[in-house]
Structure 1
Amino acid sequence: MDSSPPKYNGTQNPEEWLKEFRFFCLLRGIHEEHEMLELALLKIDNTIPIPKEGISSFSDLSNLLKDHVTYTLQCKVAFEELKGIKYNVDVNIVDFIAKFLSLCANSHVINVQDQKTCLVQACPDDVVRDIFINKIKKQPSMHRVIEIFHDTMTEYKSQIRYGSRVALKHVVTSQYLSHGKKHKPDPLRANLSEVFCSSWKRSENDVWIVTATYGQNKAPGDPIFFNSMIQLVHEKTREALFGDEGQLNLSGAWVWTLTDPRTNWIVQSHDLLHYDNPDYVMDGDIITLRHNLNKMSLQSHEFKNSDGNQEVIIHGDGQGDIHKVQ
């Protein structure tokens, strides 16, 4: 059998505590309200004064508990937490919304416009906040606002951002852009180490970090638009994807140990290679990586290098299927 509810000491929500107490009484076969009320009064902490007369119903008791200073402080604390709450993509969104609505109730934020304002402030960053504001601007239903919040955050989680860890798969051969566990110097240029495509199964050597180019005013977490310039840093070796600046018909691709303009790449949608796509780069998009200086695109094919790995080169205008990266 369940144990009795804890003593009410001012830290619980009065309505929730009374509901739990009534539930306990019903489980014990106590159905008369006056009996429940007598028992409830015995479970209230001595620091909360109870008048000898005037408490004849649970409604009276609820009002009494809400008049106490501890409840006033509960509401203030809940409101401060509500103002500071932020959505974290690692948290289940149902849990987040349940907590948000609970804080709204506990802080007496019941007006739809006020709730919308608080939910806007809970957005993870300014970019997604602006998107969410535009979507809910004329929406009078809080139920619908919450649904829109869910959809917007689902899209947010799929955005590629500065600081994202990504694996780049060559679409035609389904192999991942890779590099060994350590720098393997090129025979002619020791600062260079070859990259390649080596496996259909992703490994730790296939992970790259999307970073801003030198001098860009971008913060980790900022979304990446198509036609943005980025660097790709190999997570294991901390070396950046590099391409030769010359206008060559065929040029290798390496990683590079130094900060250099030749490690800058333009992210383009393969379906829209011209500079006319305002959208964000999303997980699963098929892209082309165009070198910033020589304007040629990263590609791969089934030819093997001396180590038996699939070659990665920089060649062409990016319109062929062999330039597709996902």
Structure 2
Amino acid sequence: MEIPKYNGTCHPNEYVKQMRAYCKINRITSEPDILELCILMINSSIYIPEGIDNLDKLVRALSSHPTFSIFKDSCKRKLQVMKYIPEEEGNYTATFLADFRSLCNDAEIYDHKEIKNLLFSTYSSNEFSRNEFLKSVDGVNSTDKIFKAFSDVVFDELKVIKYGSLITLKHVLTGKYLSSCKMKYQTGSKQQLVFAGERSNEKSNFSWLLNSCNSYQTDKIFYGDDVYLTHKATGHELYIERCYKSPTTGFAEGIIT
């Protein structure tokens, strides 16, 4: 571990904490020695008044220096422009929230309402999730619970079906899946037929791609949205042929074409 240095780009408390860790590793246990190291490693452009005889006074002195105000303003600005990107993979949410919380601490933002507003502003995916977050933190006065609420909302969004998603449709009563294969009606439209079949190893036969019917439908699917289904195996779209009836069910033919 390299010896910490202070130039006004970290919180004074964090600087002293890092110096304590450095001294612990190097078996420096005397408070005067730790204080002396702290002062020695402060950038010479930062004025330290006389009479600093303990670490608490040093922290107060560094906190009252103009560089600390600049640092806090910089951290707050970073918070104001941060954006959460739902499409990111891995442990992105944990990393994002850890960075956000660290910036709040550095900017000395402890007001729960301000934290909620800043966190709300990072999420620009859709109004539904933003509103869900506001509802979940209404009346919450715990920083830990605010961050947990944000995590819960973005996790729930992963389960939301979006346009372009690959889905399967299961009939509840029979347990069979909406399927199609290279079989055609012998009568009627003579197009490739659609049926409720057992789940097979050929997943593409019962996999369907969700597509939007309107240009303004580009993100998540909501109740009442018009959609159409494209069969993954063939790339053809699902239709109901109302002019012909299935010889098996007596209902309108389900076809892909």
Range of TM-score over shorter length: 0.7 to 0.9
* Alignment partners' CA distance in 1, 2:148 and 2:192: 48
Letter in 2 for 1:17: Y
The match for 1:57 is 54
Query: Which runs of no fewer than 5 residues in structure 1 stay unpaired?
Result: 257-326
* Alignment partners' CA distance in 2, 1:68 and 1:204: 65
Q: CA deviation at 1:236?
A: 6.1
In the TM superposition, 1:37-52 aligns within 5 A as 37-46=35-44, 48-51=45-48
The match for 2:34 is 36
2:67 is equivalent to residue 75 of structure 1: no
The match for 1:129 is 130
* Alignment partners' CA distance in 1, 2:46 and 2:154: 47
Letter in 2 for 1:88: P
Q: Is this contact kept in 2: 1:169–1:177, CA < 8 A?
A: no
RMSD: 3.6
The match for 1:200 is 200
| CA offsets 1:17-76 (integer angstroms, 9 cap, x no match) | 220111221232222211111112222334x33446243222333334444555434323
Q: CA deviation at 1:16?
A: 1.7
In the TM superposition, 1:110-259 aligns within 5 A as 110-123=110-123, 124-169=125-170, 172-175=174-177, 177=179, 193-194=192-193, 197=197, 199-201=199-201, 203=203, 206-213=206-213, 215=214, 217-220=216-219, 222-225=220-223, 227-235=224-232, 238-246=235-243, 248=245, 249-256=250-257
Q: Is this contact kept in 2: 1:14–1:62, CA < 8 A?
A: yes
The match for 1:315 is none
Look up the SS of the partner of 2:216 in the other structure: coil
TM-score after normalising by structure 2: 0.75
| 1:17–1:239 CA distance, 2 compared to 1 (3 A) | farther
The match for 1:269 is none
* Alignment partners' CA distance in 2, 1:156 and 1:58: 46
The match for 1:270 is none
Query: Identity of aligned pairs, percent?
Result: 23
Query: Which runs of no fewer than 5 residues in structure 2 stay unpaired?
Result: none
| 1:175–1:186 CA distance, 2 compared to 1 (3 A) | closer
* Alignment partners' CA distance in 2, 1:158 and 1:147: 17
Q: CA deviation at 1:160?
A: 1.4
Q: Is this contact kept in 2: 1:175–1:201, CA < 8 A?
A: no
Match of residue 18, structure 1, among 2, 13, 16: 16
| 1:160–1:10 CA distance, 2 compared to 1 (3 A) | same
Q: Is this contact kept in 2: 1:176–1:199, CA < 8 A?
A: no
